[in-house]
């Protein structure tokens, strides 16, 4: 590992055992660690005890370190000869604002490396024990977010197709609004879907439904994702079978 360099690291969904070998090595050797708020304690415990660690993340709109300040911390740390680990939950290249940080590092002529991680969509599918793609069922996967830059609106008008799996990051707690957006996108009321909370962690939870029932669900804890598509039918069938077996017992 090189000093005077920034490593943009994907921390995965939170379970330290899901870190890549490369990511774990960076955490063990870094001098300066800048992490987002959603990075789990399990992952943070992998950081070497001599490193300077700073939480630079923000959650639910709470004021925290600005993006410009984060960029400056990375640049100054690398120029001082430190090995800098910039840790993001999931994969840094999926809704992680990595593009802004990459651009700043390039403009400052600072060496950097990107270490990918397990993104939430994959952790959620694993929790449900489903495949996001399935022959004759789904040959397209779309990753999107219900959270937009302030002043912008989310629009998925007519994006749906029968052989698609649609994954919504940061769905928020207004499932009625989400249901309306999915209807506008072309998803029928009987399209299977699932909400998964804290995927990949010990306290993960999930609920299976269909698009027309979303407004009736109690919001699950953040971070959560919503998977929409026929691939969720298998998860719903499994859940129904488990409930039936409990009744028999």
Q: State the catalytic residues.
A: 36, 58, 170
Q: Which residues contact 145 (CB under 8 A, 6 or more apart)?
A: 95, 154, 168, 169, 170
Q: How many CB atoms lie within 10 A of CB 197?
A: 19
| Cβ–Cβ < 8 Å for 29, 48 | yes
Cα dihedral value 243, 167, 123, 169, nearest 10: -110
Separation between Cα atoms, residue 39 and residue 10, nearest integer Å: 9
CA-nearest of 130, 143, 188 to 169 is: 143
**Residue pointed to by tokens 């207004």:** 174
């Amino acid at each position: 590992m090189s000093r005077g360099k920034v490593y943009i690291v994907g921390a995965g969904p939170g379970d330290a055992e899901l870190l890549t070998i490369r990511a774990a090595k960076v955490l063990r050797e870094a001098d300066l660690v800048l992490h987002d708020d959603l990075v789990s304690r399990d992952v943070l415990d992998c950081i070497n005890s001599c490193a300077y660690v700073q939480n630079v993340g923000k959650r639910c709109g709470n004021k925290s370190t600005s993006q410009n300040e984060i960029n400056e911390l990375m640049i100054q740390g690398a120029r001082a000869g430190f090995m800098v680990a910039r840790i993001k939950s999931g994969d840094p290249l999926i809704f992680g604002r990595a593009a802004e940080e990459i651009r700043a590092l390039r403009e400052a002529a600072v060496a950097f490396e990107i270490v990918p991680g397990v993104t939430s969509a994959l952790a959620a599918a694993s929790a449900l024990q489903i495949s996001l793609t399935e022959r004759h069922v789904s040959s397209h996967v779309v990753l999107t977010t219900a959270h937009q830059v302030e002043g912008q609106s989310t629009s998925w008008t007519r994006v749906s197709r029968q052989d698609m799996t649609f994954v919504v990051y940061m769905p928020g707690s207004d499932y009625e609004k989400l249901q309306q957006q999915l209807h506008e996108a072309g998803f029928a009321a009987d399209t299977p879907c699932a909400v998964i909370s804290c995927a990949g962690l010990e306290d993960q939870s999930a609920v299976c439904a269909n698009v027309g029932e979303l407004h009736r669900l109690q919001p699950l804890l953040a971070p959560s994702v919503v998977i929409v598509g026929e691939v969720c039918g298998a998860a719903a069938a499994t859940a129904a079978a488990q409930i039936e077996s409990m009744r028999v017992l």
